[in-house]
Chain A
């Protein structure tokens, strides 16, 4: 990063903690960038002449006489069509050996869209995965995370969803990505011949954790450029938001803020909402859809990170290994797409909502039957049928290796209803039963 000749250089740091340092300086603006001992830092607090800076890569080895230069501006990203196909670090600097991107310099983490200028999302994103398209339909402009344990194949599923979604641009914001996962994404993108639609901002586990705090804002600033200026459909992938939140807590901790639940900062909800709310559908066709990953520890969704996320996002997707069929499925109980009702039954066939609910209800009955079985009770004939249904439903519809269109998903669901149950047991609206129930001859 270049410094400019006329800038004043400070050389007297008065306080250093693990993530921050303070000094006396004048004329400094809030959230302004600075270079401390050659490392990027940002103003987080001003008290009279005393300015506190958060040093993104940590403060190890910074001496009290280190050079400090202020930039007079908050963090920015240069935006233009040239972003496409490129890989950057948290600061927006190329890491693919290519040249710097030229373009308009925009502040990252900018203002939010006026809610009256938004449009109600209504465009379905087809992924071919019935666990998503049938039960948890996604739409453009939605924000939704995968809630997954660290050992689940969430990066694979997310990459698959990204490649099948018909997005004009896919922007990957990688936070604390392992090098292997980073290479995995790179590989998938290259193989799909999709590189020119992809932009990546990556902080790997090898980079200092606090740098991650810039990644989502970088990715979303690029997304806003393509969605607003170019009216494009942009899909933003953020993985792993748990590591992002961990970085937030490191900083707030160093600044002596009183932590709230799970040692997270009290502002966690607002901090996360500011990012996720960048998901939007514009009237001119541009949109930003955010699919994120929030890793759980031991499946605990009451932890502050998934909990606050759940209160912000428009649903969540759970992956689970179904031992009966030996495949990973999209869990129909805990997964939810809040925006599905904007498209199901209208953009898809009329029976979609009812079929979806009925199948999940029967799957729940199967879970009850399984509990009975485990407790050593006899199963009724109905119980047995729900178990058989559940197994086939899981294999033909919930498994993540399914790749069919929504109408086929509905046809399969009706055929399973017909195979295992009577219309009264399924409990669908009569006009739908009359129309779609497969009549036995």
Chain B
């Protein structure tokens, strides 16, 4: 773009990171501009225009900024740079490479490149010269770590193109021209391995977006068994502080059966991101044996980083996910915490003196949230291949009260709800997902039910539904026992309660910090569920409730030992044998 055409302006007002700019030409809503301050350029985004005043949110601290500072508008919205080399990177919320930045402290205006322009990639053509192509069609591929990274017709190309020239297999850098395309008017356009995309716009170059229908294994029993998430599904995890949102998300990010994981650390603790930086290069993907970091991109906008970039960070992460989905890959996108993003919106809306909605959040918060969640999904690409973005966000409700705008808006947008309960967390029943309040709407999808029947067991869905009833009845029994006393209820109540306790302790509870217990593949989950159902259907002989308590504690203890042992190992079977002996002790024959 010709820099003479760019609109300029001058700063006239400053309230924290909201800056008011007098503009000398046209500006667009959400246009990016740079404010000159002491020789550095501070990046900002237009969020409101009033007459000749543009209100911009600065992605940096505005300390020292003075009125009359020069502003230059760039003629485009906030964009991501898409191309090979995104995986294994640690970016800030605006896709600047954190590892490339100099010094211990972040410096304002230190905007590093998203991709390495000098690295050579082994390119292999997929299409051939003369082919007709559209936006997002695959021209070729390079191997990025072990992922086949497709080089596509840029998403913003409109209409039909004929491939005039396509380079041969060989080594190329990302800005090398790899194809020349001719549009319908006969004009040639060159394509490199890099394209830009405005983060707030959804990439829609696919044929169809059906309802999700395939289980996405996470290795977390209370999710996979009880409230499954699906490829292309959306879920959210609200919970008071300390209830285990981050631990749960980290577990999912390590274990889930995804090709690529994008983690957006949005306004949360830096130490938690450091944990990923430290562990992911060491930990192995249980399925491929390759290091987790190879399939991961981390977008870190921690709570001490500029507030405005927090909002941008989730969009940056989503746009990167959409890019990889268009390659026919399974993406898992995690954001911790979407409440911080909503709070960033609130801070801005407050400074702009907009009419506040509930709890001083902006009025359009529900629309913003549902818009974002709607970008996830399972898609059929134009070439018939499939790709998916599964999105799971955490929500940090004020005071742990779920009746607040972010939780309520998210509940309308996401289809799986994993409510963490303070009470379960307090009693160390981790992961603290409340089994009764939580739900997965996907379990009601006939498409998914059919797959579960086919892949796991014919009666799987029935068993899962029944498990929910068992848990509810267990809870009711325990309430009765508490009200009426151990002696005040029939013995049967104790049995109902303790049988539900077995499911709770062995299926729902899972130690995220135990090497073995942390991750349970589906076949293991099925084995354990079957085992407990056997116990559930067994008739036992007891004289009094104390016997029931002591007995089931032993049963639970052994089942837990099985959880802690390598699946199908000698230890595992030894514990199982011991368990059977205990069961025989009291079994009514």
Contacts and interface: CB of A to CB of B under 8 A. Distances in A.
A187 to B, nearest CB: 34
A116 B13 contact: no
B90 A116 contact: yes
Interface stretch (A59-67, A97-105, A156-164, A261-269): A261-269
A141 interface: yes
B12 A48 contact: yes
A353 B271 contact: no
Contact of A377 (B106, B428, B486): B486
B304 A377 contact: no
Interface of A: 26-32, 44-49, 74, 107, 110-121, 141-142, 228, 257-261, 266-267, 269-270, 273-274, 277-280, 282, 302-304, 307, 310-312, 314-316, 333-334, 336, 338-339, 341, 353, 357, 360-361, 364, 371-372, 375-378, 380-382, 424-425, 427, 429-430
A261 B399 contact: yes
A23 B557 CA distance: 72
A263 to B, nearest CB: 11
B288 interface: no
- Determine the interface band of chain B, counting residues with CB < 8 A from chain A: 35 or more
Interface of B: 12-16, 20, 61-67, 90, 98-99, 101, 103-108, 240-242, 267, 269-271, 273-275, 277-278, 300, 302-305, 307, 340, 343-344, 346-347, 350-351, 356, 359-360, 396, 398-401, 426-428, 482, 485-488, 513, 545-546, 549-550, 553-554, 556-557, 560-561, 564
Contacts of B106: 111-114
Contacts of B271: 118, 120-121, 141-142, 279, 314, 339
Given A107-B63, A121-B271, A273-B304, 12 more contacts: A27-B66, A117-B103, A118-B274, A120-B271, A260-B359, A307-B241, A307-B399, A312-B269, A315-B242, A333-B426, A427-B557, A427-B560
A190 to B, nearest CB: 34
Contacts of A45: 13-15
B242 A111 contact: no
A266 B65 contact: no
Contacts of B303: 269-270, 273-274, 277, 312
A319 to B, nearest CB: 17
A310 B60 CA distance: 26
A46 B13 contact: yes
5 A-B pairs with the lowest CB-CB distances in the bound complex, closest first: A302-B399, A273-B303, A277-B304, A377-B485, A310-B241
Nearest to B487: A378
A114 B104 contact: yes
Contacts of B347: 266-267, 270
B66 A119 contact: no
Contacts of A47: 12-13, 15, 20
A292 to B, nearest CB: 15
A381 B64 contact: no
Contact of A29 (B66, B269, B427, B553): B66
A376 B488 CA distance: 12
Contacts of B273: 115
Contacts of B12: 47-48
23 contacts: A47-B13, A74-B64, A110-B105, A111-B61, A114-B104, A115-B98, A116-B90, A116-B99, A118-B270, A119-B274, A119-B278, A259-B360, A260-B359, A266-B350, A274-B304, A302-B401, A311-B241, A311-B396, A334-B426, A364-B427, A375-B485, A424-B554, A427-B557
Nearest to A261: B398
A172 B304 CA distance: 22
